A and B are shown apart, each in its own frame.
Chain A
Amino acid sequence: MSVLKYLLQKEFRQIFRDPAILRIIFMMPTLQLIIIPLAADYEVRNINLAVADHDHSVYAQQMIQKIKSSGYFKLVNYTDTYQEAIKSIESDKADIVLEIPTDFEKNIVREDYSKLFIAVNAVNGMKANLGAAYMQGIIQDFNKQIRMKWIQFPKVPPQTNISVVESNWFNPMMSYKYFMVPATLATLLTMVGVFLTALNIVREKEVGTIEQINVTPIKKYQFILGKLIPFWVIGLVVLSIGFTIMRFFYQIHPLGNILVVYFFAAIYLLVVLGLGLLISTFADTQQQAMLISFFLLIIFILLGGLFTPIDSMPAWVQKLTWLNPVSYFIDVVRMVILKGSKLSDIRNHIFIILGFAAILNSWAIFNYKKTS
């Protein structure tokens, strides 16, 4: 036991003696947690709009006003010709062109029917898609509005009107930060854990200290525990820092008990550290360890449901995500913080993660040899 204690003491000593490592451990997740959610906002704002108005009527003006006041669009170019409007798309000044034909107002009043044309710059697919959708919504709304004003309702309405009222459960304001920040925290914890463990052990290989350790009576489990425990503790510290930032910087008040997350994270970290350990048994240099970790983490993160919902992935990819520990952690963090889930609700997640921890760690220990 005293050997393990001394191994831990040595490990912590080395960590605290290296200012660069300390900065990476604590500053990196802090800064990333502050920056990444801001960048990963899916709401598209500031769509640049060019209008080619051939009509110059009151209705056209009212419609443009309505579009502008929605807050999503910025009118950058207002012209008489379509050619000029499309030029502003070509020069990347505008993202979307709205063409209002001649007699737009007259046709609505007389024929009860008129057409509009929207041209979208689809270089940035996401912005184009959402921009066109917003625009259509606003125009439909405008359509309804003017009809209400001058149509005489017959006794029996010609068509039934179904009006839909939405309510967003667990996230009433549908604020992206409520689901992005906790998930980002889960991802960062994974990255810190895998990188630190893998690189630390490979460094001992690279410097040659492992050679000296291997000829001592230190047992395999002592050496491995001596490596894992410090990073397990650091992982929980990083999680606490993350929660602090979430509470005070983002003003997110978790609905559920935060201890449930800690409990889950304590098990989840075993998976992460086991993965780092496994990588270190395959890599001989820090460079190799870095590349393997990077490759795996990118896949885990993109398939983890952080940026895109898993439910919208192809069926076979969805099955792949069952093998992705990150997706379970992201799920749990969101459930507890947004929905207030309790331990009994995440029961299955816990069992699956325990399975991952057992498999990865046994594989790593099996693969770690003191003799080559």
Chain B
Amino acid sequence: MAKFNLNKMSGVVVENIGKKYLVGKSELVALKGISFEVTKGELFGIVGPDGAGKTSLFRVLTTLLLAETGRAWVDGLDTVKDYKEIRKRVGYMPGKFSLYQDLTVEENLDFFATIFNTSIEENYDLIKDIYQQIEPFKKRRAGKLSGGMKQKLALCCALIHKPTVLFLDEPTTGVDAVSRKEFWDMLQRLKQQGITILVSTPYMDEAALCDRVALMQNGRILAIDRPENINKSFAHPLWAVQSENMLGLHKTLKQWDAVASCYSFGEYYHIVMKNDDSSMDSIQNYLHDKEYQQILVKKIDANIEDCFMDLMNNANG
């Protein structure tokens, strides 16, 4: 326990954090004793489907929720004991837009600057790139902004006090593809300022943009590594399969004993064979026998989503 605490290079340390909710009479375990460490200045992604426990984890780290088991440190501070100090240092952007909708863009920013005992001018450099994009609308009420602009304003408000650690809970959910790309570019620039960033997302493609990612499901962390290492860790040959009758193909592949797993991925099905030595021909021949036309089988490299599917299957099985 102490070894984490002493490590000054850690931006965030999480140790065996567990949290349960009572839903009616049954218990819902949101976090099942998870541990990880984020180094200072790292862009750390937490990837997982809805209900994986991402938001609960963020609420524990931002001192909004008390964990039942385990401890956590943010910027070297205990989330329970030093919560007051943490609140001065972190920036938090909740998944749901939580600024005052009836105040204008400028008033919101000014408000959050003031309650952190600072001013817009003082930290203008930090938010300049982002704020300039919404500045033309600064007299507009926050509630009247578009989704992408709301995200930018929320990010500005979370940054205005120059936090050392930034928590972004699903910042790109419900935002269009162009704005999503812009948002990630902004995060890369913020990283260069030395801010530790924890970002959660349900989108697998965004995971590749992080320094390291934690794959999370059902309150557990399945894997933590650099995105490219996670891809490499995929232990089996992966095949992409296509034919003219995709619906029937899915059924056939699912029923085939030799297939370990099969799921759709864009216009292909990705399949993993039980026997790693299975050849392309053997798959093609099998499908020929089943009278499929225009069969296309190719060997591909696993991406992060494949790894996630694989880890999920293992965790469930």
Contacts and interface: CB of A to CB of B under 8 A. Distances in A.
Contacts of A6: 111, 114-115
A371 B63 contact: yes
Contacts of A13: 103, 107
A3 interface: yes
Contact of B63 (A7, A18, A208, A215): A215
Interface in B82-109: 83-84, 87-88, 90, 92, 94, 96-103, 107
B117 A3 contact: yes
A208 to B, nearest CB: 4
A141 interface: no
Interface string A182-220: 000000000000000000000000011101111111100
B115 A215 contact: no
A214 B64 contact: yes
Nearest to B157: A212
Contact of B98 (A2, A207, A372): A207
B9 to A, nearest CB: 24
A292 B65 CA distance: 26
B87 A217 contact: yes
B100 A215 contact: no
Interface string B52-87: 000000000011111000000000000000011001
Contacts of A213: 115
B239 interface: no
Nearest to A213: B115
A14 B115 CA distance: 17
A14 B100 contact: yes
B87 A215 contact: yes
Interface residues of A, number: 23
A216 B115 contact: yes
A14 B97 contact: no
Contacts of B114: 2-3, 6
A7 B66 contact: no
B44 interface: no
Nearest to B100: A209
A371 B116 contact: no
A302 to B, nearest CB: 35
B62 A212 contact: no
Contacts of B94: 208, 211-212
B112 interface: yes
Contacts of B83: 371
Nearest to B90: A215
A45 interface: no
Contacts of B100: 10, 14, 209
Given A14-B100, A14-B103, A211 B64 contact: yes
B144 to A, nearest CB: 13
Contact of B96 (A2, A208, A217): A208
A17 interface: yes
Interface of A: 2-3, 6-7, 10, 13-14, 17-18, 207-209, 211-218, 370-372
Interface of B: 62-66, 83-84, 87-88, 90, 92, 94, 96-103, 107, 111-112, 114-117, 157
29 contacts: A2-B114, A3-B115, A6-B114, A6-B115, A10-B103, A13-B103, A13-B107, A17-B102, A207-B101, A208-B96, A208-B97, A209-B100, A211-B96, A211-B98, A212-B99, A212-B112, A213-B115, A215-B62, A215-B87, A215-B90, A216-B112, A217-B88, A370-B64, A371-B63, A371-B65, A371-B83, A372-B64, A372-B65, A372-B66
Given A6-B115, A209-B100, A216-B87, 18 more contacts: A2-B114, A7-B115, A10-B100, A14-B100, A14-B102, A207-B98, A208-B97, A211-B96, A214-B87, A215-B63, A216-B112, A216-B115, A217-B84, A217-B87, A218-B115, A370-B64, A371-B64, A372-B64
